[in-house]
Structure 1
Amino acid sequence: MSDKLSRYRSKRDPGRTPEPIPETAAASPGGNAFVIQEHHARSLHWDLRLERDGVLVSWAVPKGLPADPGTNHLAVQTEDHPMEYLTFHGEIPQGEYGGGTMTVWDTGTYDTEKWSDREVKFVLRGERAAGRFVLFRTRDKNWMIHRMGSAVRDPFPSVEPMLPTARARPPKDAAAYAFEFAWGGRRLLVPIDGGRTDAAREHPWLRGLAESFGSRSAVLDGEVATLGGTELLVFYDLLYDNGRSLVAEPYTARRAALEALGLTGAHWQTAPSWPGEAGPVLRAAREQGLPGVVAKRLDSAYAPGPSKSWLLIPT
């Protein structure tokens, strides 16, 4: 039993890492505990660990558990971990194997439906991770993980932005609108899933934003503008949050969900919004040399393409 952890121990120095390093594996055959740890190492991933014959058989899953049976995720098998790792969380020093921050994302029990060298079929019973999954080996250490059954979240919405209709004057029923600056930048929708975003291909600095979301999925709407000589992504809408589509929700609900995220960083921020205040916002936009103001109906859903629920009033 003790040789099951030889590879684990060979990768770790007990004088440098706070990780548990027992001499032998636990003698608890038949146990069925699991843990999923969120691991901010060189790249963000989730570690899935299933108890088996006194150790935690482990896979690193870069994008986390799939929420949709139509999408499989890569799972790379790593060394068996000791049972003490079920509750481990903390900072593994940089320069050490797996250096970075590790937190317990979920824990619970699981039922085994099949276990072989090439396929592991199981049912997770956790608070955040629940349902039937199958791990199947594709090549060497590389496996794929597949969710069986129905999806556990809404599908991502269309990535077509909602566009304002030009209008010379503010609406007369100003109390029915929120007023925001028109930034004169380039529109950008940012989908985030599994701590990653495709928008980082063009804007690498968005990797930090995506990683900060962890396993939380989102689709953000905003503009890349240059303010004070610095490129800044200004967010002003939230189309999808934590597995739920918000496009049918009114602007007020989407705006509240966006503000609750507290998005503030060196390269991104949440745009200010002023309900019912057309005149002061227009004056401030003129003073700052901005091209205009966008009036957004408080009760409007998010509809891709041109819409009369959003009005662009030039300065």
Structure 2
Amino acid sequence: MPDKLTQYRSKRAPGRTPEPIPDAPSGTPGGNAFVIQEHHARSLHWDLRLERDGVLVSWAVPKGLPADPDTNHLAVHTEDHPMEYLTFHGEIPKGEYGGGSMSVWDTGTYETEKWSDREVKVVLNGERASGRFVLFRTRGKNWMIHRMGSAVRDPFPGLAPMEPTPRSRPPRDVSAYAFEFAWGGRRLLVPIDGGRTEAAGEHPWLRGLAESFGSRTAVLDGELVTLGGAELLVFYDLLYDDGHTLTGEPYTVRRAALEALDLTGAHWQTAPSWPGDLAPVRQAARDQGLPGVVAKRLDSPYEPGPSKHWLFLKS
């Protein structure tokens, strides 16, 4: 019987990688374990591994498992991995095959509905990955993975940005508002899905931000500004988070969710906000030469286009 781990071993050298390199295949008592690993290698992807005949049959899935049955994801068939990979996590040294950090994203058991050379249909029973999936071969090592059944997350909102309404006088009840700087930059909505964002096409440095989200989905609202001669993206709202639309939630809920992301990087940050405190914010905007202040009602939902819930007050 051929050794199913020959290819795996040929790509790895003991002592140069922390990965397990067993002498022979093994198996679990039930023979139906699976693991999904988040792999920050040359490009972010997820590795789906299904136990089969003492090894883990593996696919690299660049965008992760599809959440919507209307969208299939690429799954590249790779070499079989040893069963010890069920719990493997750590840093594969740069320069080695698959170099980068790897963590266990989910693990559990699965049920086989069909298994052939061209089609694998399974039911995953994990904490984060559950439901029926089918992998089908398209060409060579390239397969596709399809979710069967209903979507497991809300669809992305297709919105225009919410815009403030100019106003000469501040609102009477300042305690009902949060006050933020009007930056005078260019508005940018940033959708993030599968560790990637379309916005990176114009701004390649956003790839790092998107990869930091891993499998977490999001739509961020912000503004491109130039501070100290450097381009910076300041975020001040969150429209979608981890599979759930937030546009109907009040500003306070969206703001708390945005701050929980702790978005701080060389090219991006979370914009400051001061509830119920207009005078010092307006003075700071004047001192910094900013156009003004935006007053945002604490109980307001996110509305596309001009809104009376957001007010622009000149410095």
Give the TM-score band, short-chain normalised: over 0.9
The answer to whether the 8 A contact 1:225-1:232 is kept is yes
2:199 is matched with 199
Q: How does 1:103-252 map to 2 (within 5 A)?
A: 103-252=103-252
The 3 A distance-change label for structure 1 pair 260 and 29 is closer
The 3 A distance-change label for structure 1 pair 52 and 290 is same
The answer to whether the 8 A contact 1:36-1:105 is kept is yes
Q: Which amino acid aligns with 2:24?
A: T
* SS of equivalent to 1:168: coil
- The worse-fitting range, judged by mean Cα deviation, of 9-18 and 28-37 is 28-37
Structure 1 stretches of 4+ moved >3 Å: 27-30
Deviations 1:252-296 (A, max 9, x none): 000000000000000000000001111111111000000010000
Q: Which amino acid aligns with 2:109?
A: T
Unaligned ranges ≥5, structure 1: none
Distance 2:158 2:237 in 1: 14
1:262 is matched with 262
The alignment-based identity, stated in percent, is: 83
Distance 2:27 2:309 in 1: 65
Distance 1:234 1:277 in 2: 20
Distance 2:237 2:28 in 1: 51
Q: Which amino acid aligns with 1:159?
A: L
Unaligned ranges ≥5, structure 2: none
Q: Which amino acid aligns with 1:300?
A: S
Question: Scaled by the length of structure 2, what TM-score is found?
Answer: 0.99
Deviations 1:73-100 (A, max 9, x none): 0000000000000000000000000000
* SS of equivalent to 2:84: helix
The answer to whether the 8 A contact 2:291-2:314 is kept is yes
Distance 1:73 1:147 in 2: 9
Deviations 1:158-182 (A, max 9, x none): 2310011101121111111100000
1:291 is matched with 291
2:99 is matched with 99
The answer to whether the 8 A contact 1:29-1:54 is kept is no
- Alignment size in residue pairs: 315
The answer to whether the 8 A contact 2:27-2:83 is kept is no
Distance 1:48 1:198 in 2: 25
Q: Which amino acid aligns with 1:183?
A: W
The answer to whether the 8 A contact 1:29-1:52 is kept is no
The answer to whether the 8 A contact 1:2-1:24 is kept is no
Question: Scaled by the length of structure 1, what TM-score is found?
Answer: 0.99
Distance 1:216 1:270 in 2: 18
